[in-house]
Amino acid sequence: MKYPQANKDLGQHFLKDQNVINKITELPDEDVDVILEIGPGPGVLSENLTKLNRPYKVIEADRRFHEYLISHLPEENIIFADALEFDLEEAFKIWGWEDKKIWLVSNLPYNISAPLTIKFLQQREISYMSLMYQREVASKILGDGKKNEQGSLLVLCQNFFDVESLCKVAKGAFNPPPKVESQVLSYYRKNEVEVALEEFSEFESFLRKLFSFKRKQLGTVLKNYFPKDKIDNVLNLTAIDVKIRAEALSLEQVYRLYRNFK
């Protein structure tokens, strides 16, 4: 099918590889009640997603895709909006999705994938996610077993979700091909979390401080934000080395620091 000219500002790269499309649209769990897709474009995932027989809505920024989407979804399920601005909480109320288990699917626009992910984490109804990232960002979220990869996004994602790699995606799987390799991550919301959703802002703001200078020694970084005796006290109490770099902290250590500094 012929699509409109891709709009680079909106990060438009559409999947054309049927294997990848099939993989992303596999139901993560039978418990999924409803499906929300962000940035469907002309609807390359829509055919598979409609077959899953669950309420399915899309949020897309570019109105040019109306004529394509309408062949897959009824008008009331197509929302034209900027997903970053869009009030999900309010929408879930209006749609009666507050007590539903939502599966969020997105070939995310890469230029806003981090803030969108942060937004989705905070919506407790979103129980599953299948999100496409540029590979570098996917590794930062997964950690990939490497040391020194700790950062805010990893900690936030892994606090609220079990995250795993679904598949790596080559440039050629898209039309037009992007400049970077991609990877899809699967998210399953945890029942038990270290830091509760109610504390999201507080936790995020602490992490922003903690990882503000990832390569500097922890003691030096903390000095920018907390009094010296407090730092000495906490590091002593938590048995964390003042010379460790923030990026090398384990998740456990990050949680311990947060609890003691908050």
Structure token digits, residue 192: 């038990």
Q: Map tokens 């945890």 to a residue.
A: 190
Closest-CB residue for ligand SAH?
39
Considering the complex, what minimum distance in angstroms separates the CB of residue 153 from ligand SAH?
Answer: 17
Q: Judged by CB under 6 A, which of 21, 49, 129, 132 binds ligand SAH?
A: 132
| Cα gap 69→49, rounded to integer Å | 12
Give, in order, the Cα–Cα distances in Å from 155 to each of 250, 251, 253: 10, 7, 11
Residue 181: what residue type? E
Phi, psi (deg, nearest 5) at residue 162? -80, 125
Question: Between 59 and 222, whose beta carbon lies closer to ligand SAH?
Answer: 59
Considering the complex, what minimum distance in angstroms separates the CB of residue 32 from ligand SAH?
Answer: 21
Q: Which stretch binds ligand SAH (CB under 6 A): 5-13, 94-102, 149-157, 249-257?
A: 5-13
| Cα gap 141→112, rounded to integer Å | 15
Q: Which stretch binds ligand SAH (CB under 6 A): 28-36, 57-65, 87-95, 225-233?
A: 57-65
Footprint of ligand SAH on 166-225 (CB under 6 A): 178
| Cα gap 92→176, rounded to integer Å | 33
Query: Judged by CB under 6 A, does residue 242 bind ligand SAH?
Result: no
Question: Between 103 and 206, whose beta carbon lies closer to ligand SAH?
Answer: 103
Give, in order, the Cα–Cα distances in Å from 248 to each of 148, 197, 257: 4, 25, 13
Which residues of the shown chain bind ligand SAH in the complex (CB under 6 A)?
10-14, 38-39, 41, 59-62, 82-84, 107-110, 112, 132, 178
